[in-house]
Amino acid sequence: MSRVAYVNGTYVPMNEAYVHIDDRGYQFADGVYEGISVRRGKLVDLEPHLDRLWRSMQELRIAPPMERAPMRFILREVVRRNRINDGFIYMQITRGVARRDHPFPAHSVPAMVVTVKRMDFDASMKRAAEQGVAASSQPDIRWGRCDVKSTSLLPNILAKQAAREAGAFEAVLVDKDGYVTEGSSTNIWMVTKDGKLVTRSTDDNILPGITRQSVKKVAESLQMSIEERKFSLEEVKDAAEMFLTSSTSCATPIVVLDGEKIGDGTPGPVAKRLIEAYQAYMDAGA
């Protein structure tokens, strides 16, 4: 069965899914996006994702192309038409088509596209808990509004590529003062040697991850102690455990950073417990 995409009002086969070359998303990355997991046919954390999308649009003064109810319908319809059980929805909204000029156009109709791909969360969570991944630190050279989920991801892509070329799965971004901000497409956590969970507090330098928020809730329900604060690359290299969170990677232990083992170099008990609890949270259709 060929994949179906939603493009500006119609459902089309993937090989007919095109946008205009004057779309400001294409010309300037003048757009925002969301990525939402689908677990057993249900959209995970849909409402927080829509809240974040609305905030991103508001910050960039892009008019919402529709109300939330029809948007929910379209997202579910793309899942249904592609017969997805476990998968990942990508949606993008741009300022729309206008003759190329830097200022906002006086009139443009925001453009929206939605695609979905199949995922195997059971296999990836099992692999995460058993093996974990390696990470590589990279300088954070992004702009000052990383809280906005903008499609301008070139620095993230360059960091991810550098990490992959260093044999790692994810790039851990480090600011000029030596503090970890986040991953190139994930949020970063550590477990200190005295058992505290630490993740950076949300500010302009990181994306407020929806998985970060849900894992935090799950950790609180397990009575884990959580600190939201900055931590340095040096501190995390000395941590008991380290892991990343995102809609696609759920919670995934980082067992090696820059070629050095974190803890004993295997997924630790806190991360494993959180993977299990987060899986239950997803399965509960939250």
Q: Between the CA of residue 12 and those of 79, 90, 195, 266, 276, what are the distances in Å?
A: 13, 15, 50, 45, 37
The 159-198 site mask, x for binding ligand PMP (CB under 6 A), equals -----------------------x--xxx-----------
Distance CA 4, CA 198 (A): 40
Does the CA dihedral 5-213-266-181 come out positive or negative? positive
Provide the minimum distance between the beta carbon of 153 and ligand PMP in the complex, in angstroms, as a whole number: 7
Q: Are strands 31-39 and 111-118 parallel, antiparallel or unpaired?
A: unpaired
CB closer to ligand PMP out of 182 and 241: 182
CB 115 within 8 A of CB 78: yes
Provide the minimum distance between the beta carbon of 190 and ligand PMP in the complex, in angstroms, as a whole number: 16
Choosing from 117, 126, 149, 193, the catalytic residue is: 149
Distance CA 37, CA 42 (A): 8
CB closer to ligand PMP out of 108 and 247: 247
The single-letter DSSP state of residue 179 is: B
- Identified binder of ligand PMP from the candidate list 25, 209, 253, 267, rule CB under 6 A: 209
Provide the minimum distance between the beta carbon of 179 and ligand PMP in the complex, in angstroms, as a whole number: 15
CB closer to ligand PMP out of 24 and 216: 216
Told to check if 253 binds ligand PMP by CB under 6 A, we report no
How many alpha carbons lie under 13 Å from residue 62 in its C-beta half-sphere?
29
Query: Would residue 176 show up in a list of annotated catalytic residues for this protein?
Result: no
> 3 to 42, contacts with ligand PMP by CB under 6 A?
35
Q: At 280, is the secondary structure helix, strand, or coil?
A: helix
The single-letter DSSP state of residue 41 is: T
Q: Between the CA of residue 228 and those of 123, 125, 192, what are the distances in Å?
A: 30, 25, 13
Provide the minimum distance between the beta carbon of 248 and ligand PMP in the complex, in angstroms, as a whole number: 7
Told to check if 210 binds ligand PMP by CB under 6 A, we report yes
- Identified binder of ligand PMP from the candidate list 212, 236, 240, 262, rule CB under 6 A: 212
Provide the minimum distance between the beta carbon of 273 and ligand PMP in the complex, in angstroms, as a whole number: 19
- Two structure tokens written together for 260: 């050095």
Told to check if 247 binds ligand PMP by CB under 6 A, we report yes
Interface residues toward ligand PMP, by CB under 6 A? 35, 156, 182, 185-187, 207, 209-212, 245-247
Instruction: Give catalytic residue positions.
Output: 149
